[in-house]
A and B are shown apart, each in its own frame.
Chain A
Amino acid sequence: MVSLLARNKQSFGPRRERPQYLHVAIGTVIALFVYPLLYGALEDSALISIILFNFLYVFTIFPLDGPLWRKVCLLLFGNMIGWAWNFIELSFAIIATYYFGDAFNIVHFIGGPIVNSIWIVAIWSLGLSTLSSEKP
């Protein structure tokens, strides 16, 4: 039979937070508002990358503790990076296709999504690291 001998003076509780639903709602509205602005200005895979980034960012970063303005700024910053990334990637692809021929299009088609996923992860990580301070 189990015997409970004493109680430990220390108590250990994992850190818990309350989700910031209002922030998520505001983030969703902003993300939806950004989409029509970018539609037509970007190629398909870049637009998909930005949609995925917005979805992930809003549903993982916005519920956390932290000032809303900082979250919104980083979301918009991420979208700008996505746009700029696409611009650079397209420029590179055009030049590379000019020199290497149509074969590069296939490489671009296959490798493009992987390259896009890297900026998503990098900007997401940057956003998270600015939200809370390091443990002393």
Chain B
Amino acid sequence: MELIFFFLIAFMVSYLIRHYVFTFAALYHRCKQPGYIPNSIIYQPKVSVLIPARNEENVIRRILQRMTELTYPRQKLEVIVIDDASTDRTGEIAEEFAEKYDSIKVIHRNVEKSGRGKSGVLNDGLRHAKGDIIYCFDADYYPQRDILEKLTAYFTDPKVGAVQGRVTVLNEPNTLVTRLVTLERIGGYRVDQQARNSLGLIPQFGGTQGGFRRQLIESLGGFNPKMLAEDTDMTFRVYLAGYKVRYANEAECYEEAVENWNSYWRQRYRWAKGHMQCAFKHLWPLIKCKNLRLREKVDGFLLLNIYFVPVLIWLAWIIGIILCFSSPSPWFTFLLASMPLYAYSAVGNFAPFFEIGIGAYLDRRTRVCWLIPLLFVTFLYSTLICTKAFIDLCISKIKGEEQHAWLKTFHYGRGNDYIRNLNDNGQ
């Protein structure tokens, strides 16, 4: 039991060290790795933008309007809206835009095929796409006008298979949940992704606000419809195929974050379960893979296991308490007393408080730091979400179920007011 406890603590400390290294790298590391591409380069091949949409009438007009305002050359841009049998006006609104603009196309999916997740929708879009580079944007996103130029520049490196931009929250002031999600996004993108990119590790393709080579995705057979986290799955498939994912911090896109705890649960539960699926699928191939360097393997290992950490924290806490009462020693007391800090450093959408703080500092948004102590709430909530996802996944593995229910995040379109403000300010 003592051995298990020490192993669990060592596991958590490894995440603490990892995040400290990331924080330090985001602050001080300069991109010196071979193949670094200065992002002032413009490379403009034909690109396709896929926008999967299911019942998104509150937000679809916003992103389609934005697509017409992009600075990327119109003759090299193709926008494909994949309407996943919406029961609201999503398809109708998309058709209005398609009639008005040649670059916009709409695909309507059958009701029989619909509602089974994003992977299938994206695969349908891929069949119609003609671009050399394929981008994905969720319907609630609102990108910068020159985002495609910024992202596409990274594909000048032939080793780059996919690129991911930065996501920032549009409806930040709405509720406490949106404010806490903003903190998570700052830590996750500004520090975590940036550091992984700078250190030549494994930046994650986020499934939206990013793109990949069409040739590569075709050779991989498209997105796997059985995976709930098709983005994490794609990240590892890209790396296992010998390509890299790059992160472009300068390519920003607004998203409408979940606004209440119920939606937060649904979204994070899907992420947790999907991520754990990926861990089961990719851990062994990752360890065996000869295309990857040791540091990429270590980072990949830690990345794949991150959603298991909350489950292990519960376990370590229980074992630690039993050990402290059964065989009290100063060491156990020390480890148990310091455990909340390790836990704090590993959960909260898996960016620790100091990482988030430094992200806010780098963004010159120091006032948001005042909310960091409240991340303890998301920490506790995340431990419950991940534990439930883990138990459910184990049950479905025992039952032999391969298809998992896709819990869609509903968007209220409350970010539209902020977009109007941004436009009024000329951004």
List residues of chain A with CB under 8 Å of any chain B CB.
2-8, 10-12, 14-19, 44-45, 48-49, 52, 56, 59-60, 63-64, 109-110, 112-114, 116-118, 120-122, 124-126, 128-129, 131-135
Known contacts A5-B42, A19-B28; decide if A125 and B370 are in contact (CB<8 Å).
yes
Residue of B nearest to A136 (CB): B364
A3 CB, min distance to chain B CBs, angstroms: 7
State in angstroms the CA–CA spacing of A14 and B353 once bound together.
21
11 A-B residue pairs with Cβ-Cβ distance under 8 Å, sorted by A, are A6-B42, A12-B39, A14-B362, A48-B334, A48-B338, A49-B337, A56-B354, A113-B336, A129-B367, A129-B369, A135-B364
Contacts of B153 in A (CB 8 A): 8
> Interface digits, B7-31 against A, CB 8 Å rule (1 contact, 0 not)?
0000000000000100110111010
* Contact between B361 and A121, CB atoms less than 8 A apart: no
Contacts of B334 in A (CB 8 A): 44, 48
* Contact between A128 and B28, CB atoms less than 8 A apart: no
* Contact between B358 and A114, CB atoms less than 8 A apart: no
Is the CB of B390 closer than 8 A to any CB of chain A?
no
Contacts of A44 in B (CB 8 A): 330, 333-334, 337
Excluding A60-B23, A129-B367, 17 further A-B contacts by CB distance (< 8 Å) are A3-B43, A4-B41, A4-B42, A4-B43, A8-B153, A11-B40, A12-B150, A16-B27, A18-B28, A48-B333, A52-B338, A63-B28, A120-B341, A121-B373, A124-B357, A125-B372, A132-B366
Closest 6 CB pairs of A and B: A135-B364, A12-B250, A117-B340, A125-B372, A45-B337, A129-B369
Known contacts A12-B250, A125-B370, A128-B369; decide if A7 and B362 are in contact (CB<8 Å).
no
List residues of chain B with CB under 8 Å of any chain A CB.
20, 23-24, 26-28, 30, 39-44, 146, 149-150, 153, 155-156, 158, 194, 249-250, 321, 324, 330, 333-334, 336-341, 344, 353-354, 357-358, 360-367, 369-370, 372-373, 375-376
State in angstroms the CA–CA spacing of A31 and B28 once bound together.
24
Residue of A nearest to B73 (CB): A5
State in angstroms the CA–CA spacing of A112 and B336 once bound together.
10
Residue of B nearest to A110 (CB): B321
Contacts of B339 in A (CB 8 A): 113
Contacts of B344 in A (CB 8 A): 117, 121
* Contact between A129 and B249, CB atoms less than 8 A apart: no
State in angstroms the CA–CA spacing of A21 and B373 once bound together.
28
* Contact between A125 and B340, CB atoms less than 8 A apart: no
* Contact between A125 and B353, CB atoms less than 8 A apart: yes
Residue of A nearest to B30 (CB): A16
Residue of A nearest to B358 (CB): A60
B100 CB, min distance to chain A CBs, angstroms: 29
A97 CB, min distance to chain B CBs, angstroms: 17
